[in-house]
Homo-oligomer: A and B are copies of this chain.
């Protein structure tokens, strides 16, 4: 009764506490006795008694003072209670978090952007989104470094912004809005004279692009590669503002989505021209896992991503 057999149950290998035990300790303390606690925990007084016995065996010491009738925590028991009072709320928080996840109030929205310029409209969208879904974990990852669609498939990201839809099982390409890649050049540039430009016009130009593989760039995929034209040179620049700066100072030409140029139109000395007489039109998509389109916050995000950029363009 007073001492436990060291050889029997191996607490020499460390005790194996479970939350059940902490909940028990806490319940007994709060209920002020074993029988009452059993009520709270929806089990018999006997079960609790057995459990406490087992726990004390593991702890290697008495956790309760039995000399007083409604059982009371011993010094050691109080230490365990303190721990329970630290730990259990954390567990509750976790469970609460998952309740939120299930209810669709929280979740993850990690967005990979292949189109480098998409920051421009995506940021306002996310700004708006966060107001409505404060518990959703939002992030943007420049999808340049890795293959975005496999990453989507493997749940490393949740949305891929792309203008090249593919037929992939389990992936849905949700259309967002249309845009036109436009030619941008210094107003002093000879091509500024033409009402529109064509693939051939690039042959003698220094083309400034984002540092992305050519297949992901509209100029190449839509204009130059089909016409088998290679520009005189290509220079890769990261930031949109810098590209426009270089263009304005006539250090090269670029092709950018119309919304980008419209956004920063006020500040410089360059002109935009359509590509081909009718201009070209492209459609942007948000690729998601098919199952997730129906998630409330995802649906909301898609709605925002369809509407906000259009508003921005009108304002711009």
Q: Which residues of A contact B (CB under 8 A)?
A: 1-2, 11, 14-15, 17-20, 42, 59-61, 65, 67-68, 72, 74-76, 79-80, 83, 86-87, 90-91, 93-95, 97-99, 101-102, 107-108, 110, 137, 153-155, 158, 291
Contact = CB atoms under 8 A, between A and B. Distances in A.
A84 to B, nearest CB: 9
Contacts of A17: 19, 91, 94-95
B98 A76 contact: yes
Given A90-B87, A94-B83, A102-B60, A75 B155 contact: yes
Contacts of A110: 75
A299 B86 CA distance: 32
Contacts of A108: 75
A250 B291 CA distance: 92
B158 A15 contact: no
Contacts of A137: 75
Contact of A87 (B72, B87, B153): B87
A59 B100 CA distance: 11
Copies of this chain in its oligomeric complex = 2
Most chain B Cβ neighbours within 10 Å, of A74, A93, A98: A98
A14 to B, nearest CB: 6
Contacts of A74: 155
Given A75-B155, A101-B79, A14 B60 contact: no
B87 A91 contact: yes
A101 B94 CA distance: 30
Contact of A90 (B83, B93, B95, B101): B83
A60 B104 CA distance: 12
Contact of A95 (B15, B65, B68, B154): B15
B18 A18 contact: yes
A169 B59 CA distance: 26
Nearest to A43: B1
Contacts of A72: 154-155
B15 A18 contact: no
Given A61-B98, A75-B155, 8 more contacts: A1-B42, A17-B94, A18-B20, A59-B102, A65-B154, A67-B155, A75-B158, A83-B91
Contact of A155 (B20, B65, B153): B65
A67 B153 contact: yes
A83 B98 CA distance: 11
30 contacts: A11-B102, A15-B95, A17-B19, A17-B91, A17-B94, A17-B95, A18-B18, A59-B98, A59-B101, A59-B102, A61-B98, A61-B102, A65-B154, A65-B155, A67-B153, A72-B154, A72-B155, A75-B107, A75-B110, A75-B155, A75-B158, A76-B98, A79-B94, A79-B97, A79-B98, A83-B93, A83-B94, A83-B97, A87-B91, A90-B90
Contacts of A155: 65, 67, 72, 74-75
